[in-house]
Amino acid sequence: MTLKASNLISRNFASVLKSVLKHEYRFYTFAGGRGSLKSSFISIAIIMLIITFRFVNVLVLRKVSNTLLDSVFAQLQWAIGMLEADDYFKCTTSPMKIIYKPTGQTILFRGVDKPSKIKSIKLKTGYFAVAWYEESTEFTPEEIRSVNQSVMRGGGKDALFWFFDSFNPPIHRDNWKNKEILQPKENRLVHYSTIYDAPID
């Protein structure tokens, strides 16, 4: 299978993709408004991670579970199609999951409106190496820490993890997410984009 990610992401994200595939950071934060391509980039990066690393399983999260289908689930289906990898993935809505058929690696989708269910998630093989918080301003810091702790229980001492979070920067500077990204954090890359960074086509 030939991946054509270089033709699918804008130049503003090219160095970030290299960083993700090299695992230069554990935390990747993407701030940008509508049309800034942040979710498109994350979805492509996640599919590439699954194909590249056989141990990668993915947990995709929204604050409320009934928003998953028309947002992140559809976004990842788009990425699979753009990478011409449809034959390699099986997508189901009941239950909502995406399976990489050659290895059985899985993308699961959950809302944090029922956090206890996240702690009970089990995988047949491997561990959740990737978590994606879409619209992360809708979460509380405590919810994100709790889920991260649950995710990081798997994989063992030398496990690799990628935590993606994406959000539209709130108007109010006092919002917790606006404050968080201004604080230096070891092992985190913060990326900013706008609709003006997107190619016209």
135: annotated active-site residue: yes
Q: How far is CA 170 from CA 18, 32, 128, in A?
A: 28, 10, 29
Structure letter (DSSP) for residue 3: -
Residue among 24, 84, 134, 135 flagged as catalytic: 135
Q: How far is CA 127 from CA 35, 58, 121, 161, in A?
A: 32, 8, 10, 10
- Please give the backbone phi and psi of residue 80, each rounded to the nearest 5 degrees, phi first: -60, -45
Q: Which residues are catalytic?
A: 135
